[in-house]
Amino acid sequence: MDATPKVALIVGAGDFLGAAIAKKFAAQGYVACVTRRRGKGLDTLVDEIKQAGGRAEGFYSDARDEDQVIELVDTIERTIGPIEAFVFNVGGNVKFDLLETTKRIYTKVWEMCALAGFLNGREVARAMLTRGRGTMIFTGATASLRGAAGFAAFAGGKHALRALVQSTARELGPKGIHVAHVVIDGPIDTEATREMFPEIYASRPADGILKPEDIAETYWALHAQQPSAWTHEVDVRPYAEPW
């Protein structure tokens, strides 16, 4: 076992996409450091990775809290190993009519999508720049490109995240850090998606719904095959046309 194992930090390791990404990196020999703000599923994810022969560590951390983010990155770098791959996968996909969107709702969604992306990206970049290498991947959505009715808060946050990543890529790319923004332009097969978009499940064939495991393969490829271009945006969608 390596004395200094490589670490993949997945911030927002939920039950579906985040978990799939963590399992993929762990299967490739990385220590999957996974975070959630709260909930009981984190220990289950860590156990599943370990039972499959991988290595994982779980952290309860609020991605919007600057002090917690600083402590998270510092702890991993000091006690586990260098963060070679970082995935920001915090959600925030909520639907409210415009007149029902309170200041509290809008602010919270923006904090989850944009502020948290900035705080975590900044602290991970601080560590990666000391080595002059690393991969930073941020999860986008259809809302990163266009806002749908009922998703004003989510679209605002995801647009802001995309702009953040573009600036980050142009600044850090020449310094050896590969920065990517993944636009997941389509429904991911989750319980929440089934409830929110029943019409899509009713109208599409099975291959028209994105599988978390397939998206995780794209994330791994972005890290393992770092293209020469230092700024990279990937569009992942089940169909060629927008949905």
Please give the radius of gyration of the chain, using alpha carbons only, rounded to the nearest integer.
17
Q: Is the pLDDT of residue 230 over 50?
A: no
- The predicted model scores a pTM of 0.90
Question: Average pLDDT in the 47-71 region?
Answer: 97
Report whether pLDDT(241) > 80.
no
Per-residue model confidence (pLDDT) at position 71: 98
Q: How far apart are CA 189 and CA 193, in angstroms?
A: 6
Percentage of the chain modeled with pLDDT above 70:
90
**Domains along the sequence of the chain with CATH:** 7-236 (3.40.50.720)
On the question of pLDDT at 180 being above 80, the answer is yes
State residue 41's pLDDT score. Answer: 85
pLDDT value at 10 more than 80: yes
CB atoms within 10 A of CB 53: 8
pLDDT in tens, 209-222: 788 999 999 999 99
Identify the pLDDT of residue 206.
64
